[in-house]
């Protein structure tokens, strides 16, 4: 049977506690977070996205972070949707625009759209993404950090 919300929260709290203390068994904590993510537990999805984005406790992996941010965004988390759009702004401007527009009247989304539309190096009006621009800017530049 499916675990109760309280059981999920308890596992989530245990996993965070283990990771925040840099416990030697952080692989187990990561595994528990991934299990909760597989059950679509939003805080676990966001936590994994942030960890992979920052490289905290895990090897930095922007592509994994992006997938988790997209999943959390689909689950209704606005900050995750904005973070995914910020990452995608350098790789897929059309998808970034779609994500920003889905954020409604959020000021950060308006700012992101303005930056997207105003970028003089943008390939936005062309029919395909400029591969040279992707390699020039890469994932390492201009990313916003999640504010808590």
| pLDDT per residue rounded down to tens, the chain (148 residues) | 566 767 777 777 766 665 554 555 777 778 888 988 999 999 999 989 998 999 887 899 999 999 999 999 999 999 999 999 999 988 888 899 899 988 888 999 988 888 887 775 665 544 334 443 334 334 333 443 333 2
- Long-range contact pairs involving 113-117 (C-beta distance under 8 Å, separation at least 24): 115/89, 116/89
Predicted pLDDT at 56: 81
The whole-angstrom separation of Cα 51 and Cα 39 is 18
What does the radius of gyration of the chain's CA atoms come to, in whole angstroms? 17
Query: Which residues have CB under 8 Å from 26's CB, separation 6+?
Result: 18, 19, 57
pLDDT at residue number 65: 95
Q: Take residue 111 and report the two structure tokens written for it.
A: 């700012």
Q: 142: helix, coil or strand?
A: coil
């Amino acid at each position: 049977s499916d675990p109760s919300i309280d059981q999920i929260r308890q596992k989530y709290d245990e996993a965070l506690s283990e990771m925040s203390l840099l416990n030697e068994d952080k692989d187990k904590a990561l595994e528990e977070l991934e299990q909760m993510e597989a059950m679509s537990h939003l805080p676990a999805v966001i936590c994994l996205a942030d960890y992979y984005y920052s490289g905290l406790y895990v090897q930095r992996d922007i592509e994994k972070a992006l997938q988790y941010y997209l999943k959390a965004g689909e689950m209704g988390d606005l900050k995750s949707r904005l973070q995914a759009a910020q990452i995608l702004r350098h790789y897929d401007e059309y998808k970034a625009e779609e994500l920003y527009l889905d954020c409604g009247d959020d000021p950060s989304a308006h700012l992101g759209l303005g930056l997207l539309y105003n970028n003089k190096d943008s390939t936005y009006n062309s029919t395909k993404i400029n591969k040279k621009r992707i390699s020039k800017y890469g994932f390492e530049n201009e990313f916003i950090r999640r504010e808590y």
